[in-house]
Structures are given as C-alpha cells and as structure tokens.
Amino acid sequence: MIVAISGFLRVRAGLQRAAATNDPEEYVHDPAFQIISFFWVHGLPMLVLLALMIFAAKRLARNSGRHDVVQPDGLIDVLLDRDAPFGDRHDAAMDLADYDNPEAINALTKVKDDPSEDADIAEEAGQSLLEIDRRKRTN
C-alpha cells in the first residue's frame, strides 16, 4: 500500500515537473509512472473481468445439480426407497436435517418408527429429527 501511494506521489510530482517545464515526455520515463499506468490501463479491466468470472462461477455452482427433482423431495425418495444403497439412504437421512418442512419431518419419523428399518438409518433419522427440533427451538 505504501509503495502504491509512493508511486502515485512520484507520478504526481513528475506531472507537475512536466507541466512546469512544458515537456510532457519527462514523466513518461519514470518507472513508477510506467508501472502505475500499466496497471491502470490493463489491471482495472482485468479486475472487472475477474470479478465477473467469480460472479459467474458462484452462480453456476449455485445452480449446478438442479434438475427435475427439487430438494428435499429427492432426498425423501432416496430415504424411503428400500432398494437404494445403504450409504445413499444414510446420507439422505442425514441431509434431511437441513429441512424443516413437514414432508421431510414425516419421512424421517416414518423411518425412525419403522421396526423393520435398518438400525443405523433409523438412528440417523432420529438424529436429524433432533437437529430439526433444536433448530426450531432456537429460532
């Protein structure tokens, strides 16, 4: 920061000298002026381009993975599908903790209360219900 301020002050002094001597070429050869003018001409548009690229990347990341199925409906379908792999059902039970809507709560309760359900999946459904309950109490 200090270097940039120092560079700007040197450029300003060079411009004042050029104005005093009526020689506009005098300040052009100053290295500080050359560096600052390069970044002013090239750096500013590059920063704008970089900001636009970051914005577009965040927008794409937010929209990626969105298809026909709206969450948590997809998670509920996986959780209630007994033919789905264990890991997918377990992850669905865990991920449904992020949703407070009645459909998610009903699906988690159904799995938790089913005696024929896998114990680990039922336990994870119960943990998700506890997390939802805790979040509702603090809000």
- The CATH number assigned to the domain holding 127 equals 1.25.10
Two tokens, residue 122: 């039922």
Task: Report which of residues 95 and 5 the model is more confident about.
Answer: 95
Q: Which residues contact 129 (CB under 8 A, 6 or more apart)?
A: 97, 105, 108, 109, 112
Ranked by mean pLDDT, the top range of 19-23, 72-76, 77-81 is 77-81
- What is the count of structural domains for the chain? 2
- DSSP state, 24? T
85/120 same-domain check: yes
Q: What is the arithmetic mean of pLDDT over 103-126? A: 94
Two tokens, residue 132: 């939802």
The pLDDT, as a whole number, for residue 136 is 86
pLDDT band at 58 (very low <50, low <70, confident <90, very high): confident
pLDDT band at 128 (very low <50, low <70, confident <90, very high): very high
3-class DSSP string for 122-134: HHHHHHHHHHHHH
Reply yes or no on whether the pLDDT at 62 is more than 70. Answer: no
Distance separating alpha carbons of residues 116 and 118, to the nearest angstrom: 7
Residue 104 contacts residue 125 (beta carbons within 8 Å): no
83/46 same-domain check: no
Task: Report which of residues 127 and 54 the model is more confident about.
Answer: 127
Q: Which residues contact 7 (CB under 8 A, 6 or more apart)?
A: 32, 33, 35, 36
pTM of the model: 0.51
10/57 same-domain check: yes
pLDDT one-digit tens code per residue, 18-54 = 666 665 555 556 666 666 666 666 666 777 777 777 7
Domain that holds residue 127: 73-138
The pLDDT, as a whole number, for residue 99 is 87
Rounded to 5 degrees, φ, ψ at 80 are: -85, -10
The pLDDT, as a whole number, for residue 12 is 63
Two tokens, residue 29: 């050869």
Mean pLDDT (the chain, rounded): 77
